[in-house]
Amino acid sequence: MAPSVAELAAINNGADKVAAAKESLKQKEESQIVDAPQPGAAYPFYLPHFDVTEKFLPTEIFEHSDAGLRANPAKPNLLNSNTTLHHLSPYLGTEITGVQISQLSKEGLDELALYAGERKVLIFRDQDFKDIGPDRQIEIARHFGPIQKHPTSGNAKGYPEFHVVYRDATHDRFKEYLGDDRVNRTSWHSDVSYEKQPPSTTFFFILDQPDTGGDTLFLSQVEAYRRLSPEFQKRLEGLRAVHSAVAQADASRRRGGPVRREPVESEHPLVRVHPVTGEKALYINPGFTRRIVGFKHEESEYLLRFLYDHLTKGADFQIRASYRPGTVVVWDNRVTVHSAIVDFDSTFRRHAVRLTPQAEVPIPA
Ligand SMILES: [Fe+2]
């Protein structure tokens, strides 16, 4: 006999209770992920630190003069006879050996800014950077601009300048942020592009890495722009897009994490000009760009979807940066978009630290 309406209601009620219990268990499991790194990190000083009482003042506009503008174009203080250069693609990415970042003079750092702007991504091998201590690391990065203090990510205790990237079997912020029901974990973005003055020459040094995997994908927004027809380029120039920190802050609040500064939204030109190389670049990314200013919703979605498709399918203007002990990757966040590749088993630890100097208010094309 078919169940009565009352019986159906009771069954549904039971199903609701089961669903609620499952949800509660899931939340409990997720909350246990937070702040519980496995023992054995090679550099415990840099383990992610989350203090929900930590607060920052709103970021103020500052004058910026790019280090690359002071550089000698021949780069005699950066590259020498011991240096080997291996270009990964004609458009971006150069692997460098025979240069020690920690030993560079001010002139050498200026030339590093210029070279990072020209090649977009520099992969320095065999660096002692991870062992020179937090104060010296910050001093070097500060040469390029004031260092962004991340509003939500793990930092190092007492050193909010460090943005810690960390994953192991029990600590997986990526999974928490993006969920676990995706067919891939690619997540293209340009770091903190929501800032009024987004970052330029960005440092990323590895502390622990899996035996295989854990690379970073990068693409050139300069080459992505060049591929468009002159007519289409003309249509994009002059447009502005909103970049937002709201989703990132909301995600941190949901997990009981810090929001050290109220989330900001900024309007940036869709095509920006690099202040040193003069190259034009698209400046959008799926991570933080939300809508085109002045367009209706569907128009904005239509254009952004096309541009994201163009960027992410452009394997002929993308590279993968790989990591070995001592690797430091330096990229220019103004002209690149990147994604972590989370292709390694969760029993491996991947631990890295980013220093993110901020630069000029983006220059429209
Ligand atoms: Fe990033």
Ligand 1 mean position to 202 CA, how many Å?
A: 10
Ligand 1 mean position to 104 CA, how many Å?
A: 25
Ligand 1 mean position to 220 CA, how many Å?
A: 15
Ligand 1 mean position to 8 CA, how many Å?
A: 50
Residue partners of 47: CB distance under 8 A and separation at least 6: 37, 41, 154, 156, 164, 166, 351
* pLDDT score recorded for residue 12: 47
Ligand 1 mean position to 358 CA, how many Å?
A: 14
What average pLDDT score do residues 269-294 get? 98
Ligand 1 mean position to 96 CA, how many Å?
A: 21
Which residue, among 341, 334, 337, 202, has the nearest Cα to 277 in the 3D structure?
334
Selected residue with higher pLDDT from 363 and 16: 363
DSSP states of 177-198:
HH-S--S-----B-TTTTSSS-
Measured between its terminal Cα atoms, the distance across the chain in Å is 73
Ligand 1 mean position to 338 CA, how many Å?
A: 6
What average pLDDT score do residues 93-110 get? 98
- The C-alpha atoms of residue 101 and residue 115 are separated, in whole angstroms, by 13
pLDDT-wise least confident of 3-7, 25-29, 332-336: 3-7
* pLDDT score recorded for residue 33: 41
What average pLDDT score do residues 109-114 get? 98
* pLDDT score recorded for residue 35: 55
Partnered with residue 49 across adjacent β-strands are 155
Ligand 1 mean position to 74 CA, how many Å?
A: 30
Strands 216-220 and 240-244: unpaired
Ligand 1 mean position to 204 CA, how many Å?
A: 9
Ligand 1 mean position to 276 CA, how many Å?
A: 23
Ligand 1 mean position to 285 CA, how many Å?
A: 11
Ligand 1 mean position to 316 CA, how many Å?
A: 21
Ligand 1 mean position to 324 CA, how many Å?
A: 18
Ligand 1 mean position to 302 CA, how many Å?
A: 25
Q: Does domain 47-364 have CATH number 3.40.50.2000?
A: no
Residue 169 pLDDT level (bands cut at 50, 70, 90): confident
What average pLDDT score do residues 236-262 get? 96
Residue 8 predicted with pLDDT over 80: no
Q: How many CB atoms lie within 10 A of CB 220?
A: 29
- The C-alpha atoms of residue 292 and residue 338 are separated, in whole angstroms, by 21
Residue 234: Cβ-neighbour burial (10 angstroms; 0-12, 13-18, 19+): exposed
Residue 325 pLDDT level (bands cut at 50, 70, 90): very high
Residues 242 and 300 sit within 8 Å (Cβ to Cβ): no
Residue 13 predicted with pLDDT over 80: no
Ligand 1 mean position to 239 CA, how many Å?
A: 25
Residue partners of 170: CB distance under 8 A and separation at least 6: 32, 33, 36, 37, 38
What average pLDDT score do residues 257-267 get? 97
- The C-alpha atoms of residue 266 and residue 281 are separated, in whole angstroms, by 18
- The C-alpha atoms of residue 97 and residue 125 are separated, in whole angstroms, by 6
Strands 265-269 and 240-244: antiparallel
- The C-alpha atoms of residue 105 and residue 96 are separated, in whole angstroms, by 17
Residue with tokens 């993006």: 178
Residue with tokens 């004058």: 63
Q: How many CB atoms lie within 10 A of CB 238?
A: 11
Ligand 1 mean position to 339 CA, how many Å?
A: 7
* pLDDT score recorded for residue 181: 80
Q: What is the amino acid identity at position 253?
A: R
**pLDDT (tens digit, 9 = 90+) per residue, 282-295?**
999 999 999 999 99
- The C-alpha atoms of residue 54 and residue 155 are separated, in whole angstroms, by 11
Ligand 1 mean position to 198 CA, how many Å?
A: 13
Domain boundary assignment for the chain: 47-364
**pLDDT (tens digit, 9 = 90+) per residue, 16-60?**
555 554 554 444 444 444 457 888 899 999 999 999 999 999 999
* pLDDT score recorded for residue 172: 77
- Taking the CA atoms of 224, 174, 191 and 110 in sequence, report the sign of the dihedral they define: negative
Query: Rounded to whole angstroms, what are the CA distances from 290 to 117, 181, 224, 295?
Result: 26, 22, 19, 12
Ligand 1 mean position to 65 CA, how many Å?
A: 24
* pLDDT score recorded for residue 16: 57
Residue 299 predicted with pLDDT over 90: yes
Ligand 1 mean position to 234 CA, how many Å?
A: 29
Ligand 1 mean position to 13 CA, how many Å?
A: 44
* Mean model confidence pLDDT for the chain: 91
Ligand 1 mean position to 190 CA, how many Å?
A: 6
What average pLDDT score do residues 270-280 get? 98
* pLDDT score recorded for residue 23: 52
Residue with tokens 């790019």: 66
